[in-house]
């Protein structure tokens, strides 16, 4: 072991090391470690953000799926309702038409009936008046001959016995 002068190395090593420590600390370690830490933080943040975005995408996808399902269900419902409405409308229209037709038929029947009645009544009148005229004429003609008058009276009396 040959140490030229211990005091020289003790002095210079201490000075140089401390100076180097001070300078590197100020100009190298702080900026470098700071930058490394910042980068690590930013990488972690980016990864976390990516993960969050992925989850959001997943949620969005699920939402979309849900929305689609809902839309489909709604469409189904609307179609069903429309079909029902159609059926109902048709049946209603049918019913109405039938009712109208029935009413008309009824009215027609009533009219016919009343016409018939009035016609029958008129006919009865006519028949009555005609019968009376005929009877009058017959009477007039029959009663113009005595014999016949008597005969008739007999006949009628005969009939009355029967009654």
Name which of 17 and 45 has its Cβ closer to other proteins: 17
Angstrom distance (rounded) from CA 161 to CA 15? 178
The contacts of residue 149 (CB under 8 Å, 6+ apart) are: 142, 143
Name which of 25 and 52 has its Cβ closer to other proteins: 25
Name which of 39 and 124 has its Cβ closer to other proteins: 39
- Residue ranges binding other proteins (CB under 8 A): 1-14, 16-17, 19-21, 23-25, 27-33, 35-36, 39
C-alpha pair distances (Å), 103 with each of 10, 90, 91, 100, 114: 131, 19, 18, 5, 16
The nearest distance, CB 45 to other proteins, in angstroms, is 13
The nearest distance, CB 32 to other proteins, in angstroms, is 5
Angstrom distance (rounded) from CA 68 to CA 155? 105
The nearest distance, CB 37 to other proteins, in angstroms, is 9
């Amino acid at each position: 072991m040959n140490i030229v002068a211990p005091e020289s190395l003790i002095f210079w090593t201490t000075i140089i090391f401390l100076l180097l420590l001070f300078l590197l600390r100020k100009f190298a370690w702080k900026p470098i470690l700071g930058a490394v830490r910042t980068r690590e933080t930013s990488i972690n943040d980016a990864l976390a953000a990516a993960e969050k975005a992925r989850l959001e995408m997943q949620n969005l996808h699920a939402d979309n799926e849900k929305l689609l399902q809902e839309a489909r269900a709604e469409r189904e419902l609307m179609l069903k309702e429309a079909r029902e409405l159609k059926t109902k409308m048709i049946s209603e229209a049918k019913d109405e038409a039938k009712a109208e037709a029935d009413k008309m038929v009824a009215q027609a029947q009533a009219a016919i009936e009343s016409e018939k009645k009035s016609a029958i009544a008129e006919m009865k009148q006519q028949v009555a008046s005609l019968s009376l005229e005929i009877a009058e004429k017959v009477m007039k003609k029959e009663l113009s001959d005595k014999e016949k008058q008597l005969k008739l009276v007999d006949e009628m009396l005969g009939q009355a016995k029967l009654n």
